[in-house]
């Protein structure tokens, strides 16, 4: 499934639409900016992120589909919490967002590689 | 003409397993499927292929369940061959947790009684906390122990339903969707069935309409006093494998999803969810496996079991209207193999497909004495 971003910001990426203050956050270590009040999903899309997660079953890349909390395709790790729905979380200053790679594990460590964890036979 | 050899009323797990079994032997089958506004138990269940604890007080049901679990690998294989769908059958043995010594004693007595009635051909183990912890390191301190049998397993119930539908189509079964059967009239050479504006004819008919069987059965001289019993289920996110074995209240699917169940509620035809029951289910899940405390929940639903007064199935051929049968149970997953391989040939009148041995124990007539004290079967 192609996940290339088709959103285009109506204003320059580092300017806020209605004069909101800009917030600094990170995606996989890369610094991004987004207007306060914006969802993490919208912030990532506006900054050209095309893969939010890989699926636990096939490892295929995924990006947001519904943007309203129903599809679970926008899952990311936010500040160490895995499998967060990025369309339902507002950006915050200094937020650390990471790709959700396959399954999360319970031990607090990073998500495990899909094939290995899913016991694919 | 809407004619076939056999009409199956109901397109859930029971109906499609029967249709599949009959069509594999060359029977021309039509399935009348009510539609998405029906109470579809087959879309709400937990997915256990479960043996332990079943048949207490009714040994033929224990045997019947064991037989289906034993035949399940053949069913999974046949479905995979016909459709390419892997229904994710795993039968690694299952655990039933107890949370107090009293529960352990009651469970052991129940298991012992079933085993004795089967002359010991029923191997089970009672495990105290330490022995259980050795096998399932994730259990919490609140778990007093568990019963275990190696006969238990699980499958993906939605993939099973999809595979049965696909396998039926592969064998030429005709599906009439949006067809709620309302009237069945015995006539020369068979039955006429009204469903909406359409009329269907066949020499044989089997009622597999779940809760709908209650109203339909008397029209062909049968008795199926089923009632709804609600179960609620919580579904968590997919997580790395932490539980290989199914348990009565917690299981992890092949793809990593955590499922938590269940409840037993007498609330009529209400298939909704309630916060108090769901929180009880969640709390029991966390007591079982404390690591679940951080589990993110994705969905919750309620579904209605199709329960007979004693919790055991009804299988019966009508003597008043030969060619009519009723099949009803609340274990459409566990019993799917029996339905496809043993009940279907009997109903279809296939060569060599006589009445399965002991089937008379499951006659609905056992409720004609008015004894309708409802109870749960596992």
pLDDT digits (tens, 9 = 90+) for B18-41: 999 999 999 999 999 998 888 888
Average pLDDT over residues A70-88: 95
CA distance B256 to B341: 31
With CB atoms and an 8 Å threshold, state whether B240 touches A104: yes
pLDDT beyond 90 at B213: yes
Count CA atoms within 13 Å of residue B62 on its CB side.
22
Question: Residues B130, B134, B139, CA angle at the centre, nearest 5°?
Answer: 75
Average pLDDT over residues B5-16: 97
Helices B157-170 and B13-24, axial angle in degrees (round to 10): 30
How does pLDDT run across B240-283, given as a tens digit for each residue?
Answer: 999 999 999 999 999 999 999 989 999 999 999 999 999 999 99
With CB atoms and an 8 Å threshold, state whether A111 touches B294: no
Among the partner-chain residues B255, B294, B298, the one whose CB lies closest to the CB of A72 is B298
Domains and CATH numbers, chain B: 6-54+158-226+310-367 (3.50.50.60), 94-149 (no CATH), 227-307 (3.30.9.10)
CA distance B216 to B227: 14
pLDDT for position B375 = 55
Average pLDDT over residues B323-333: 96
Mean pLDDT of chain B, nearest integer: 94
Q: Which of A77, A115, A119, A120 to mutate to test the interface with B (most CBs of B within 10 A)?
A: A119
Question: Residues B252, B287, B152, CA angle at the centre, nearest 5°?
Answer: 40
Q: Which of B238, B250, B297, B298 to mutate to test the interface with A (most CBs of A within 10 A)?
A: B238
Beta bridge partners, B336, equal none
pLDDT for position A6 = 73
pLDDT for position A106 = 83
Phi, psi of A86, deg, nearest 5: -70, -20
Beta bridge partners, B200, equal B193
Give the three-state DSSP class for B56.
coil
Mean pLDDT of chain A, nearest integer: 84
pLDDT for position B372 = 54
Strands (E), chain A: 22-27, 30-35, 53-54, 61-62, 75-78, 81-85, 95-101
Least confident range of A9-13, A85-89, B144-148, B229-233: A9-13
Check: CB of residue B233 under 8 Å from CB of residue A51.
no
pLDDT for position B120 = 93
Q: How many CB atoms lie within 10 A of CB B268?
A: 11
Phi, psi of B98, deg, nearest 5: -120, 145
pLDDT beyond 80 at A110: no
Among the partner-chain residues A83, A106, A111, the one whose CB lies closest to the CB of B242 is A106
pLDDT for position A1 = 60
pLDDT for position A111 = 36
pLDDT for position A109 = 42
Strands (E), chain B: 6-9, 29-32, 48-49, 94-98, 125-128, 145-149, 153-154, 174-176, 181-187, 190-195, 198-202, 204-207, 227-238, 250-252, 257-260, 297-307, 314-317, 324-328
Question: For chain B, how big is the Rg over CA atoms in Å?
Answer: 21
Check: CB of residue B237 under 8 Å from CB of residue B258.
yes
The H-assigned helical ranges of B228-319 are 275-288
CA trace torsion B107, B110, B112, B114 (10° rounding): -140
How does pLDDT run across B75-134, given as a tens digit for each residue?
Answer: 999 999 999 999 999 999 999 999 999 999 999 999 999 999 999 999 999 999 999 999
How does pLDDT run across A9-65, given as a tens digit for each residue?
Answer: 777 766 777 788 999 999 999 999 999 999 999 999 999 999 999 999 899 999 999
Least confident range of A16-20, B130-134, B163-167, B299-303: A16-20
Measured CB to CB, residues of chain B less than 8 Å from chain A are 237-242, 254-256, 291, 294, 296, 298
CA distance B220 to B317: 10
Give the three-state DSSP class for A25.
strand
Average pLDDT over residues B210-232: 96
The first and second tokens of residue B318, run together, are 């009508």
Give the three-state DSSP class for B135.
helix
Q: Give me the percent of chain B exceeding a pLDDT of 70.
A: 97
pLDDT beyond 70 at A94: yes
Q: pTM score, two decimals?
A: 0.90
Domains and CATH numbers, chain A: 22-117 (3.10.20.440)
Query: How much of chain B is helix, strand and coil, in % rounded to 5?
Result: 35, 25, 40
Residue B274's H or E segment, with its range, is none
Among the partner-chain residues B239, B291, B296, the one whose CB lies closest to the CB of A103 is B239
* Separation in Å, CA A110 to CA A77, A98, A106, B340: 9, 10, 9, 44
pLDDT for position B43 = 87
Q: Do strands B324-328 and B204-207 pair parallel, antiparallel, or not at all (unpaired)? A: parallel
Residue scoring higher pLDDT (A23 or A115): A23
Question: Looking up tokens 């329960």, which residue turns up?
Answer: B307
Q: State ipTM.
A: 0.77
pLDDT beyond 80 at B354: yes
pLDDT for position B103 = 97
């Amino acid at each position: 499934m192609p996940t290339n971003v088709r959103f285009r910001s109506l204003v320059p990426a580092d300017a806020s639409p209605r004069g909101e203050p800009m917030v600094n956050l990170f995606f996989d270590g890369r610094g991004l900016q987004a207007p306060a009040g914006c969802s993490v999903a919208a912030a990532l899309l506006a900054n050209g992120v095309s893969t939010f997660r890989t699926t636990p079953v096939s490892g295929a890349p995924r990006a947001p589909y519904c943007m309203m909390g129903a599809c679970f395709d926008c899952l990311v790790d936010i500040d160490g919490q895995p499998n967060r729905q990025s369309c339902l979380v507002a950006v915050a200053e200094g937020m650390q967002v990471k790709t959700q790679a396959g399954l999360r594990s319970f031990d607090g460590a990073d998500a495990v590689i899909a094939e290995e964890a899913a016991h694919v036979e | 003409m809407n004619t076939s050899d056999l009409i199956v009323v109901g397109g859930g797990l029971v109906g499609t397993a029967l249709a599949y079994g009959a069509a594999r032997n060359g029977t021309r089958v039509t399935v009348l499927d009510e539609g998405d506004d029906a109470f579809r138990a087959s879309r709400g269940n937990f997915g256990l292929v479960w043996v332990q604890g079943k048949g207490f007080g009714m040994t033929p049901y224990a045997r019947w369940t064991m037989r289906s679990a034993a035949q399940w690998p053949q069913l999974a294989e046949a479905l995979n061959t016909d459709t390419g769908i892997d229904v994710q059958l795993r039968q690694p043995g299952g655990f039933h947790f107890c949370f107090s010594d009293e529960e352990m004693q009651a469970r052991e007595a129940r298991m012992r009684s079933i085993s004795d009635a089967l002359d010991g051909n029923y191997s089970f183990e009672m495990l105290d906390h330490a022995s259980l912890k050795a096998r399932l390191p994730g259990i919490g301190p609140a778990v007093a122990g568990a019963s275990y049998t190696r006969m238990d397993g699980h499958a993906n119930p939605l993939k099973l339903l999809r595979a049965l539908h696909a396998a039926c189509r592969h064998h030429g079964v005709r599906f009439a969707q949006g067809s709620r059967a309302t009237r069945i009239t015995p006539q020369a050479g068979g039955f006429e069935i009204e469903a909406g504006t359409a009329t269907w004819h066949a020499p044989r008919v089997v009622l597999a309409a779940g809760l709908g069987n209650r109203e339909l059965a008397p029209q062909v001289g049968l008795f199926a006093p089923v009632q709804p019993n609600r179960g609620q289920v919580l579904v968590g996110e997919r997580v790395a494998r932490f539980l290989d074995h199914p348990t009565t209240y917690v299981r992890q699917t092949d793809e990593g999803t955590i499922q938590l169940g269940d409840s037993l509620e007498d609330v009529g035809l209400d298939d909704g969810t309630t916060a108090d029951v769901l929180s009880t289910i969640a709390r029991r899940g966390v007591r079982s496996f404390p690591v679940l405390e951080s589990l993110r929940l994705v969905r919750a639903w309620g579904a209605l079991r199709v329960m007979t007064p004693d919790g055991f199935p009804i299988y019966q051929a009508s003597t008043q209207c030969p060619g009519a049968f009723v099949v009803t149970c609340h274990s459409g997953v566990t019993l799917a193999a029996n339905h496809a391989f043993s009940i279907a040939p009997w109903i279809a009148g296939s060569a060599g497909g006589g009445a399965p041995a002991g089937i008379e124990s499951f006659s609905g007539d056992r409720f004609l004495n008015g004894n309708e004290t409802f109870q749960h079967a596992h």
